[in-house]
Structure 1
């Protein structure tokens, strides 16, 4: 009997965080084009204290540090001990890193800037989490959150899901459950921020082409399959199913090959608000 794959559950504190760490160089390369519009949205104008939510392996931390005015202080937070250790090793010269569940944790003093690239979509209780984060931001401070647009407009995710669905059963996803495209409609996130007491919440769509790691379409397909939330159930599937998935995704990647690099289109929403 064929198993049905469900995308529910993103255990960043353990399994998912460790998987991201193990693919860190590739994941940071894939997401690097988003750093420029994301960091610009922080609107730096003077030295400040910056809190980075879900800092991952510290790649975005380095981009923030490069743009922040001299004298700024950065603290990165992540729920995954594996990623905090990786961030400390890779970017500990520009920031301090803390293992914490930001939906409950309170820093000693508020920040003038709050930043998060793809880290605020996974809260079990988003209303409570954003209400807590409101205490993190100083009056008049600025936040910038990057979230994925609609799943159909995030190329590598849509192609992955379509490929997996072509070789095994895939359960329907819950658009309101924790997941990467939870705020594909940015109005949902804006409403949550306003409900938590943030001011002037707004969104801006950014279209970009993301470079998928791998020097061939087959290598790019292998990276996407191994690094996604679909890796575990696919690994448990029969070899012929895995081979079909890889072959089909290789064909997709070949169609997105440009000058030797597989590039997938993506829509990202940059959300800003003030304290």
Structure 2
């Protein structure tokens, strides 16, 4: 069926897009189409995943390809998944989609501990209203760490099996907890008027998106104020208290 899709796309679009390439070999679920032409300034190409499917005999969900297993097919319900994701995007005033995009960068720079669908499934459980992006990240990492610690993420549509992780569960949990600490600390720094320190911590979580910054002087000033006020050096480092207050620098 994937080869039929390959031939059909080639027949229909080959003349319009002379640089068109269509990949089937090595693809797990979908035929990868590269158009060879940009649709956005600064982008070199436009790509699309085209998935074949056949109805499940029960009437719930579909069989979709999985070339990595002996049966060659998995049961899933992508129609319900799409409806749930679109509803979440609407309920959160697009925050859901923006956070998922940020989290895809996070998994890409932290050894890909989980797949993007696992991220979306976890987001569906915890993001249901508009909020600043930094707070949405905090909500996600807190929820995801707790859920992964308890076991695999179930299919939101209740059709497919649990969503597998890309590495041992303990390792995924550790990465989620580390990211949560970075976000918590960034929020605390921002609330304390230390934007460079906050940016430096966010860079640890999202190095491709947030440039690093030198918060050395801010931290030295903070420690000096803490000592003068009779506190300890640990106060304000994210070790003593939690924080869920919305912030200024990353609120959009």
Name which one, 1 or 2, has greater alpha-carbon Rg.
2
Task: Report the TM-score when normalising by structure 2.
Answer: 0.25
Higher relative contact order (CA 8 A, sep 6+): 1
Task: Report the TM-score when normalising by structure 1.
Answer: 0.23
Greater share of residues in helix = 2
Greater share of residues in strand = 1
